[in-house]
Structure formats: C-alpha cells, structure tokens
C-alpha cells in the first residue's frame, strides 16, 4: 500500500517506519528542512530504542522516504496519516491549526480516492472538522478515519508492531476494509482491532490517558497519607495491585507524571467537557495532585536543610521517564527550577537527554557525563528518573564523593532500611 505520513514527530516517525517495515511504501513529510535532511542522512532527531536501525533498514530497502513535498507524497498515496502536533491552547484545549492546515493541503493534493487518518491526538469532533476542511477544496471522494496512537515512549516499536489493541473510528465500509488490510500484519496474535465511530475513537484516546494519569495521582495521594499516618506505600501498593480488578501497572508513587501525553490530554479532556457544560472535578484534582507532587522533593529538601541557598545538589535523571530523551512536562524541570529558585547549584546527569536539557536550562546548571560526576561535593542527590543504571550504584563510592550522604528518592528506587544501614539520610515517597 502507498502511504503518506504528514509530520515526522514521535508518532509520525514511529508509525511510518513500522508501516514501511511491514512492506508498504511510505513517504514521511515535514516542513522542517533540517529534520528532513537529518532523516535522509540516516540521523534520527529523537531517541527511541531500535528506531534508528529500523529507519536505516527501510530506507536502504527503498520502502521509506522523507520529503518536504507534501503534494508529491499525497498525490500517489492511498492512505494519508495526519501526525502533526496539537499543542495545548490557553484554556487547556488542543490547538488544531496544524491538523486543519494539513487537511486542507491534503485535499488540494489528492488525485484519487484517499483515506485520510487522524493519527494526532485530537479532541472529539475533529474528524468532522477535517472532513469539512477537505471538502472545501476538492470534489474527489475520500473518507476520514480516527486512529489514535497508544505508544509508550521507550517501548514504541513493540507497542506498534505488537499492539494490545488497535482503535479505529470509521464511518464507511470502504474505509474500514482499507484500515483492516493495513493493520492485518500487526494483529495476527488475536489482539483486537476495535472498530467504532470516529467520535468514540477520539474520546477513547483521551479517556485512556486520563485513567492512567488518575491512577498515578491516586497513588501519590495515598503516598502522602502514608507519610502522615506512618504506613509504607510499598506495602499498600502491593495490597492494591494484587486485586485482579485493579492490577499493578501505574500504581507506583513518585514525583508526578510528565511527557507529551498525560498532562496535555488530561487538560484537553477537561476543556472538552467544559465546552459541553460539564466540569470533570476528578480530573482537575488529578492535575492539582500532579503539580503538588512535582514540588514535593524540593519541599522535603527545604525542610531538611532549612535553607538551600548556596548548597549544591546532584540530580540523576532528566527525561520524564526511562528509555526516552523527552523532557516535555518532566518532573525534573520543576525539581531543578525549584532548587535554582532557592539559590542552589545543580549538576545533573541523564543517559540520553543532556541535549534536550540544554534547550531547557541552558548554562544555568552543569551537566555530568557520568552519574558519579554529578555527586562530587554535593549536599544531596535527587533521583528523578528511574533509569536502570541508577538502581544498583556503588553506594560506598557515592558516600566518598558526596559532601553529605543525603538522598531524595523521587521514584522509590532504593530500600529505605538498607540506605540507612549504609549511612545515608534517605527520603522516599510515602515510605516509612
């Protein structure tokens, strides 16, 4: 099948590469000349395990192409995916200007029946707006489909190639057959393709992310209560997760959720409901809990030291979660800004995202090339992202390097009792 992907961000690049790897001819389009040049040269602008190798393979085998020429890509395509950004608007709603601009360009470029697929995360009713934008500029037959993505950064290739479900919103049998054929290589192990109407598909994406965000904020509230009553959140988490109706995923307390999806999608769902006269009080509380949680480690540090003025701290982990260089809405930003704002110096280490961090902090902090470099002469260590290489460090070496062995563990990576036995002053999240 001939496919065009409009947008080479995280979603577009992963989707285009995986479709190409299943035998389709895929052309990815972006207006960013620098990014297209990078991709054509075999360089990948984002960090995602396995993606660079898969892109190079499909470029080499002439199934995957990159261009700035949208008209050429769409003219020859049977299916066109819109995978452009939907940034957060002033009131929390999704800004659709890039989606609708892409839709208009697609309509002008189409020469045959085309299935136009919304892959961007968009609010309910966007498929109708895309359909209207295309109809204004063409008489050629087309269908608009909603196909939200459910990719986890750091495991996106597996999520796409072996999905637990594929959600497709369609309004015609013709489009349904095209999409069923397109996704057939990825659902051979009986994982379902869930066909539904476009509005239900659009809402499914927001509802799924809002539910996961709710679980995180719920556990962070429970962790706060554990600290008040003298309970241990790890025991509570195990007691909850063993209930099959609940399960263990997303029941880990910490310094809050971040990334490109949960914060934006929760806000967009709240904004959508408000447009229809409904206040989603639970999700507004989820947001408040998350913002409070991002400030928690600095609050603990201020209580421990009294004043942070002139102190020096190490930070392990900058990305919002392991296996990605994405720092959008990352808790590390709130932690580091809080420390700097109270007069402290920061030296930080992350395995893959120092380049991203430099765009956020510039030269206001120092960057360590290895974890232990971030410990030299520090008054304390903040563990913000639970990368594997932070789980079993040389604790004796840490104590030797640190001015004072104090650890603020924002992901409950370490065992509190063992840390104290080793001579550390330890602060976790909801730990006794």
Q: Could you tell me if 312 and 279 lie in one domain?
A: no
Q: Could you tell me if 273 and 349 lie in one domain?
A: no
Asked, for residue 147, whether it belongs to a domain, the answer is yes
253 assigned binding-site residue: yes
State the pLDDT at residue 169: 97
The number of domains in the chain is 3
The separation between CA 220 and the C-alpha centre of its own chain, rounded to angstroms, equals 19
The separation between CA 9 and the C-alpha centre of its own chain, rounded to angstroms, equals 12
153 assigned binding-site residue: yes
264 assigned binding-site residue: yes
Tokens 């009792």 belong to 417
Which of 18, 28, 226, 261 is flagged as catalytic?
261
Q: How many residues does the chain have?
A: 432
Q: Could you tell me if 377 and 317 lie in one domain?
A: yes
Helix (H, G, I), strand (E, B) or coil at 119: coil
As a whole number of angstroms, the distance between CA 334 and CA 296 comes to 10
Say which CATH number the domain at 153 has. 3.40.50.720
Using CB atoms within 10 Å of the CB of residue 224, give its burial: 0 to 12 exposed, 13 to 18 middle, 19+ buried.
Answer: middle
Q: Could you tell me if 151 and 13 lie in one domain?
A: yes
Residue at which a domain ends, from 178, 196, 214: 196
State the pLDDT at residue 189: 66
252 assigned binding-site residue: yes
Q: Could you tell me if 128 and 70 lie in one domain?
A: yes
Asked, for residue 369, whether it belongs to a domain, the answer is yes
DSSP alpha helix (H) spans, 43-155: 51-60, 70-75, 97-109, 126-135
For each successive 10 residues of the chain (432 residues), what is the average pLDDT?
A: 95 96 96 92 88 94 95 96 88 87 97 96 94 97 96 91 94 96 85 92 95 96 95 96 93 92 91 92 95 97 97 97 94 97 97 92 96 98 97 96 98 96 97 88
Asked, for residue 164, whether it belongs to a domain, the answer is yes
Q: Could you tell me if 25 and 170 lie in one domain?
A: yes
State the pLDDT at residue 107: 97
Q: Could you tell me if 390 and 265 lie in one domain?
A: no
Q: Could you tell me if 300 and 287 lie in one domain?
A: no
Angle at 428 between CA 426 and CA 430, to 5 degrees: 135
Say which CATH number the domain at 265 has. 1.10.1040.10
Could you tell me the pTM of the whole model? Answer: 0.88
State the pLDDT at residue 43: 86
Using CB atoms within 10 Å of the CB of residue 188, give its burial: 0 to 12 exposed, 13 to 18 middle, 19+ buried.
Answer: exposed
Catalytic site residue 226? no
Asked, for residue 432, whether it belongs to a domain, the answer is no
Residue at which a domain ends, from 261, 292, 323: 292
321 assigned binding-site residue: yes
Residue at which a domain ends, from 177, 196, 215: 196
Q: Could you tell me if 47 and 188 lie in one domain?
A: yes
Tokens 């806000």 belong to 267
152 assigned binding-site residue: yes
Asked, for residue 389, whether it belongs to a domain, the answer is yes
Identify the domain containing residue 253 by its residue range: 205-292
Using CB atoms within 10 Å of the CB of residue 222, give its burial: 0 to 12 exposed, 13 to 18 middle, 19+ buried.
Answer: middle
Q: Could you tell me if 141 and 101 lie in one domain?
A: yes
As a whole number of angstroms, the distance between CA 16 and CA 32 comes to 17
Q: Could you tell me if 345 and 390 lie in one domain?
A: yes
């Amino acid at each position: 099948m001939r496919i065009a992907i409009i947008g080479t961000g995280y979603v577009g690049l992963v989707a285009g590469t995986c479709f190409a790897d299943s035998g389709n001819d895929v052309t990815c389009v972006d207006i960013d000349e620098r990014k297209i040049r990078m991709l054509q040269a075999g360089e990948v602008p984002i960090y995602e395990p396995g993606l660079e190798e898969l892109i190079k393979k499909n470029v080499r085998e002439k199934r995957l192409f990159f261009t700035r020429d949208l008209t050429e890509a769409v003219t020859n395509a049977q299916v066109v995916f819109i995978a452009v950004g939907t940034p957060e608007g002033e009131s929390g709603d999704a800004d659709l200007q890039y989606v609708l601009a892409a839709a208009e360009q697609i309509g002008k470029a189409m020469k045959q029946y085309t299935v136009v697929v919304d892959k961007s995360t968009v609010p309910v009713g966007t498929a109708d707006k895309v359909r209207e934008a295309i109809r204004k500029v063409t008489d050629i037959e087309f269908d608009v489909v909603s196909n939200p993505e459910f990719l986890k950064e750091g495991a996106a290739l597996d999520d796409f190639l072996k999905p637990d479900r594929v959600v497709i919103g369609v309004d015609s049998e013709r489009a349904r057959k095209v999409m069923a054929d397109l996704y057939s290589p990825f659902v051979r192990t009986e994982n379902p393709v869930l066909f539904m109407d476009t509005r239900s598909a659009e809402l499914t994406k927001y509802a799924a992310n809002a539910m996961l965000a709710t679980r995180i904020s719920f556990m962070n509230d429970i962790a706060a209560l554990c600290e008040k009553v003298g309970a241990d959140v790890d025991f509570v988490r195990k007691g909850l997760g063993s209930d099959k109706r609940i399960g263990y995923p997303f029941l880990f307390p910490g310094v809050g959720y971040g990334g490109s999806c949960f914060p934006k999608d929760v806000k967009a769902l709240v904004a959508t409901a408000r447009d229809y006269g409904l206040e989603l009080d639970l999700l507004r509380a989820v947001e408040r809990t998350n913002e409070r949680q991002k400030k928690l480690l600095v609050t603990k540090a201020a209580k421990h030291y009294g004043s942070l003025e002139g102190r020096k701290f190490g930070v392990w982990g900058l990305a919002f979660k392991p296996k990605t260089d994405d720092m959008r809405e990352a808790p590390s930003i709130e932690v580091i800004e809080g420390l700097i704002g109270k007069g402290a110096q920061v030296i930080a280490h992350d395995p893959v995202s120092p380049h991203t961090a430099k765009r956020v902090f510039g030269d206001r902090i120092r960057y360590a090339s290895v974890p232990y470099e971030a410990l030299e002469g520090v008054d304390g260590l903040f563990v913000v992202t639970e990368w594997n290489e932070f789980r079993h460090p040389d604790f004796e070496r840490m104590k030797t390097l640190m001015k004072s062995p104090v650890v603020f563990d924002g992901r409950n990576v370490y065992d509190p009792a063992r840390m104290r036995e080793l001579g550390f002053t330890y602060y976790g999240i909801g730990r006794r």
